[in-house]
Every structure is written in structure tokens, then in C-alpha cells.
Structure 1
Amino acid sequence: DGGKKALYRREGMLCTPEHVQKCVDMGVDFIVLGGNPGSGTSINDVIACTKWIKEKYGDQLFVFAGKWEDGINEKVLGDALA
């Protein structure tokens, strides 16, 4: 597959200091953080990662973050049904 499947391995999709630094080194302008239902990501995880990225990189990176869909047991912020 030429390494394409490696993009979809869980360890390749986690927000880690190493992954964020690699993005910075590659010259990205923004990072998108999100958690899909069933991924085990909570809204608190998304908020915590957003906070440390902004603390470390400030205005060097835009961070777009959120929960894309309702989970089974957790409502997203701003959800009219919450």
C-alpha cells in the first residue's frame, strides 16, 4: 500500500508532543483535533490538547478542535439537545 495504511493506524492519529512538533517542522499553519464516537476521546481530552498546543506554540499554529458528533454518553458543547 506504499505506507498509506500507516496513516490510519491509531498511534499515528494521536495528539502527542512529537506529532505536533513534526507538524511544526513541516511548516503547517493549522492542526485539526477531534474525536469521533467510539474513539475513546472525550471533550476534555480535546480541550487539554488544545490548551498545551496553544501554550507551547501560541500564534504559530491555528488549532481547530472539537467533537464532531455526539458520542453515546457524551454531548458536545453547544449541542441543542444537550
Structure 2
Amino acid sequence: MLKDITIGQHFPGDSVVHNTDPRLKILLVIAYIVVLFTVNNFVGLFLSVALLAMLYTTAKIPLKVVLKSIKPIVPIVVFTAVLNLFFMT
């Protein structure tokens, strides 16, 4: 059962993303999170998703693994989006 949970698990590979210094990757993830929380338009969100897709492609992680890893988060995102529709100012 635990092998079905793939979010945050290491996917072995040899790419630019895999070979980058782990400290730099942590700093870049923190910067990415800050950008996600400060962007307030669709263009910025689209660019953020495009950057993430580009990084997954560069890391050569199969789409099946990516979709399997985000599957547990989808209900939370949908619930948050619906609440945002009703309580947005």
C-alpha cells in the first residue's frame, strides 16, 4: 500500500535536475512556493505550471508517475477552488 504513495518520493534518473546540488533545489522550491503564493493573475499561474511541466520533462519523469503523485491532492485543490469561487472578494 505504501508503494502506491508516490508524492515526494525520489525517481531515479540522470538529468540536469537530478544532478543539481540538493541545497540549490531546496532554495528554488522555496522561491517557487513564494511565487505561487504571491501571483494573483492567470498569466503568472500559467507560467508557474508551465515551468513545473518543463522541469518534469527535463527530469525525464514519466507522465504516469506525475499523475499518480498528484492524485491524492486533487480533491483538496477542487475543494479549495470551489470555496474560492464563493468567498472571493
TM-score using structure 1 length: 0.34
Higher strand share: 1
Instruction: Select the structure with the greater relative contact order (CA < 8 A; seq sep ≥ 6).
Output: 2
Larger Rg: 2
Higher helix share: 2
